[in-house]
């Protein structure tokens, strides 16, 4: 009698298991969605463009993106001329004019020079409130994957100098939009 009960119970379990297997949707075994690939090939060598007589720097801001962190320099221009710049990895940032060391935290340091003063050349009045050796005003890098530190170094003889501390030496690109210079640093190679 006992063997018969076990046989009936076993048959019931097999039948129930088959019913459950049929009820499981086919998507449960489908492959996970592919993650979009981040661009590579930007490189980490120095990038620059010729200087041009333009307006003054009015703001520096940052943003987080899926594949990179971005720093934007607002430079309202008075014509179609390009914004001059030099962006490169350096061992340390030394303030233009004085040679003073500007401490910048991170595994690597990018020095950004924009051919636009942070003051009005005609009046001498400040157009951007950066102070030498201090963090960039209004820039909070909390939660960024690549950016670690951003310091204003100087505005000297028509150029503005910024030290950007990043997690490691990573590829970056530089390009212009209307009245803006953009520096993107990738999260990975």
Paired with 25 in beta bridges are none
Q: Which residues contact 55 (CB under 8 A, 6 or more apart)?
A: 75, 76, 77, 78, 116, 179
For domain 47-186, is the CATH number 2.60.40.3500?
A: yes
Mean pLDDT of 145-154: 98
Number of continuous H segments (helices) and E segments (strands) in the chain: 1, 11
pTM for this prediction: 0.79
Q: For the chain, what is the mean pLDDT?
A: 84
Nearest to 94 by CA among 148, 139, 169, 161: 161
Give the model confidence (pLDDT) of 4-61 as tens digits.
444 444 444 444 444 434 343 444 444 444 456 886 789 999 999 986 767 899 999 9
Q: Where are the domains of the chain?
A: 47-186
pLDDT in tens, 17-26: 444 343 434 4
Q: What percentage of the chain carries pLDDT values higher than 90?
A: 67
């Amino acid at each position: 009698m006992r063997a018969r009960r076990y046989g009936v119970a076993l048959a019931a379990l097999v039948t129930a298991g088959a019913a459950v297997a049929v009820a499981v949707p086919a998507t449960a075994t489908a492959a996970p969605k592919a993650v979009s690939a981040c661009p590579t090939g930007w490189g980490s060598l120095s990038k620059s463009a010729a200087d041009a007589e333009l307006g003054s720097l009015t703001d520096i801001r940052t943003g987080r993106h899926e594949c990179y962190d971005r720093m934007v320099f607002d430079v309202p221009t008075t014509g179609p001329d390009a914004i001059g710049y030099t962006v490169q990895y350096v061992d340390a940032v030394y303030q233009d004019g004085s040679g003073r060391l500007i401490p910048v935290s991170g595994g690597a340091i990018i020095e950004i020079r924009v051919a636009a003063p942070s003051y009005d050349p005609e009046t001498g009045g400040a157009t951007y409130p950066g102070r030498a050796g201090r963090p960039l005003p209004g820039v909070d890098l909390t939660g960024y994957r690549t950016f670690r530190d951003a310091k204003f170094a100087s505005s000297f003889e028509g150029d503005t100098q910024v030290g950007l501390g990043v997690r490691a030496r990573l590829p970056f690109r530089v390009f212009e939009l209307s009245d803006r210079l953009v520096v993107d640093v990738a999260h990975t190679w």
